[in-house]
Amino acid sequence: MRLVIVGGVAAGTKAASRARRLDPEMEVTVYQEEPEPSISECGLPYFLSGIVERREQLVARTPEKFAQKDIEVLVRHRVERIDASARKLIVHDLSAGRTFEDTYDRLVVATGARAVLPPIPGSNLQGVFELRFLTDADRIRSYAETYSPEKATIVGGGYIGLEVAENLCSLGIEVSLIEGQDRVALAYGPEVSESVEAELESHGVNIFTGEKVDAFTGEDRVRGVRFGNTELETDLVIVGVGIRPNVELASEAGAEIGRTGALLVDKHMKTNVPEIWAAGDCVETTDLTSGEPAWFPLGDTANQMGRVAGTNATTGEDTLEFPGTLGTGIFKVFDLGVGKTGLSEQAAADAGFETVGASLSTYDRAAYYPGAEKVFLKLIADRATGRLLGAEAAGSSSDKLIDICATALWGGLSYPDLVNIDLAYSPPYGPALSPVIQVATILSGKFERAKEGVRASE
């Protein structure tokens, strides 16, 4: 029995390891286009600055290590076509420059996602980069070593742009950030966007919101960015305006595409094509809060999906299920941790919910304990049922608060459940009542008053 996996980052390598563990007899081959497998893509911004010192640190396992587990990982190999009826693949070996045919009994598609490059004139100038793969980071580092850029421009105020801003600043580069919408961190409510912008500004980042880049200028390498009536000098541009799922290979083999544009799979990570499973950034999943199809290209989710796809592709049965996700995420920008889970107020409204929200800026530990810092937390609940729909946090311990809220959402809890929840308290670790409890209590008051309002008007 031969299992082939197309794509060797988080989902693909997890599926391979899982197959090997479950079935020592299975032949397992992974094709990976990039020169290394199992790259920690989330670590790339920190490699730009040298916070992560050596590129090997971002390669979880080399092909040699996989070989020791009897998993064949072929890097610099691009799968060009899947013939599902014949269970064959056309593979291009990029190093050798040759094309060959392979066969499979079962296939896992883990082709990931690629950066979107908007059609801005000058995008092909030297010094204009995206940051998706380790090889992109290599190119940026090599460019920076050659030209020692003094001014950099980041296009896009999403989490990659924000993480890159921090890391370029730490190299002593003057950073400008251009965002097309009226604020950065659009997945969050306006309070969080404001904190992020304040954090960026306090570290000297120039922010331009509501601006669309008209052109990158320069002769051979980039020297400027033009938008509206402004032309900024710049030596380096990093574009992070979004990514898009790599669905073409599977789609040409007959796999259906979902509403989000990513591959459609069932709960068992199976596509509609017999013997083909898919996992990771290339697939669509369910947003468990709204119940709607969603696309959340995140490393941890890809890993979890890879486990399910790898298991089921190995057993050939519907052994494991992947239930869907909450879109939980976090990023760090300078000293500010910013996280979310579930729906923002806007996303909840878009999904048809009427919401009640409450928020608070409070301390992360007992106010008298040294080092106490502020954290902002917002909870969003369904007006009709009281069910928690989402949470956002910014500041110290936001990772903890978001993980508490994510677990609450995962368990389908409602705001009253959070008023008396028994969390861990000690002065070095939190205020007597967790910010989650404090905000849930405020929320509870709002629901009570809303009910009284209804009663009074009856």
Q: To which residue do tokens 């007899």 refer?
A: 25
- Binder of a copy of itself out of 86, 424, 454, 456 (CB under 8 A): 424
Among 339, 390, 395, 435, binds a copy of itself (CB under 8 A): 339
d(CA 432, CA 12): 44
With CB under 8 A as the contact rule, which of the stretches 87-95, 96-104, 251-259, 362-370 interacts with a copy of itself? 362-370
Spatial neighbors of 125 by CB under 8 A, at least 6 apart, are 216, 218, 220, 221, 222
Instruction: Please tell me whether residue 187 binds a copy of itself under the rule CB under 8 A.
Output: no
Contacts of a copy of itself in 228-287 (CB under 8 A): none
Using the 8-state DSSP alphabet, how is residue 43 labeled? G
Q: According to CB under 8 A, which one of 76, 92, 332, 374 is a site residue for a copy of itself?
A: 332
Q: How far is the CB of 293 from a copy of itself (least distance, A)?
A: 16
Nearer to a copy of itself, 244 or 332 (CB): 332
Calculate the alpha carbon distances from 257 to 35, 66, 253, 273 in Å.
28, 31, 12, 12
Q: Which burial class, exposed, middle or buried, applies to 271 when counting CB atoms under 10 A from its CB (0-12, 13-18, 19+)?
A: buried
Q: Does 292 bind a copy of itself (CB under 8 A)?
A: no
- Selected binder of a copy of itself within 64, 97, 411, 454 (CB under 8 A): 411
Q: Which is nearer to a copy of itself, 274 or 323 (CB)?
A: 323
Compare residues 18 and 151 and give the one whose CB is closer to a copy of itself. 18
Q: How many of the chain's residues bind a copy of itself (CB under 8 A)?
A: 67
337 vs 174, 264, 344, 354, CA distance in Å?
A: 22, 33, 17, 28
Q: Is 455 in the site for a copy of itself (CB under 8 A)?
A: no
180, 242, 299, 386: which one binds a copy of itself (CB under 8 A): 299
Closest CA to 164 of 213, 199, 131, 123: 131
Q: Which is nearer to a copy of itself, 97 or 411 (CB)?
A: 411
**What six digits make up the tokens of 189?**
């409510």
Q: Which residues contact 409 (CB under 8 A, 6 or more apart)?
A: 288, 289, 326, 341, 342, 388, 389, 390, 391
Token representation of residue 367:
């106010």
Q: What is the DSSP string of 298-320?
A: -HHHHHHHHHHHHHHHHHSS---
Does 57 bind a copy of itself (CB under 8 A)? Our answer is yes
Sign of CA dihedral 170, 171, 176, 177: negative
The number of angstroms, rounded, from the C-alpha of 49 to the middle of its chain's C-alpha atoms is: 20
Q: Which residues contact 269 (CB under 8 A, 6 or more apart)?
A: 277, 278, 279, 283, 305, 308, 309, 312, 322
**Closest approach of a copy of itself to the CB of residue 104, in Å:** 26
326 neighbors 406 (Cβ within 8 angstroms): yes
Among residues 105 and 417, whose Cβ is nearest to a copy of itself?
417
The residue (of 52 and 278) whose beta carbon lies closer to a copy of itself is: 52
Stretches 23-31, 113-121, 252-260, 298-306: which one binds a copy of itself (CB under 8 A)? 298-306
Nearer to a copy of itself, 153 or 304 (CB): 304
x-marked contacts with a copy of itself along 371-410 as a string, rule CB under 8 A:
--------------------------x-xx-xxx-xxx-x
Task: Say what angle helices 299-315 and 10-22 make with each other, to 10 degrees.
Answer: 30
The nearest distance, CB 259 to a copy of itself, in angstroms, is 20
Please tell me the distance from the alpha carbon of residue 100 to that of residue 298, in angstroms, as a whole number.
32
Q: Does 328 bind a copy of itself (CB under 8 A)?
A: yes
DSSP state of 182: S
- Which amino acid, one-letter code, is at 16? A
Q: Please say which residue, 135 or 148, places its beta carbon nearer to a copy of itself.
A: 135
Q: Residue 42 catalytic?
A: yes
Among positions 24, 172, 370, 456, the unique one binding a copy of itself when judged by CB under 8 A: 370
Tell me the window of 114-122, 124-132, 143-151, 299-307 that interacts with a copy of itself (CB under 8 A): 299-307
Stretch that binds a copy of itself, among 91-99, 230-238, 360-368, 375-383 (CB under 8 A): 360-368
Starting at the edge strand found earlier in the chain, the sheet holding 206-209 runs: 128-130, 236-239, 151-155, 174-179, 206-209
Contact (Cβ atoms closer than 8 angstroms) between residue 36 and residue 135 = no
- Residues 42, 169, 282, 405: which is the catalytic one? 42
- CB-CB neighbours of 74 under 10 Å: 18
The verdict on 458 binding a copy of itself (CB under 8 A) reads: no
To the nearest whole angstrom, how small is the minimum distance from the Cβ of residue 407 to a copy of itself?
A: 4
Q: How far is the CB of 285 from a copy of itself (least distance, A)?
A: 10
Among 419, 439, 440, 443, the residue binding a copy of itself under the rule CB under 8 A is: 419
Dist CA 315 CA 393 (whole Å):
41
Binding-site ranges for a copy of itself (CB under 8 A): 10, 40, 42-43, 46, 51-52, 57-58, 288, 298-301, 303-304, 307-308, 322-323, 325-332, 337, 339, 341, 366-370, 397, 399-400, 402-404, 406-408, 410-413, 417, 419-430, 432-434, 437, 441
Residues assigned a catalytic role: 42
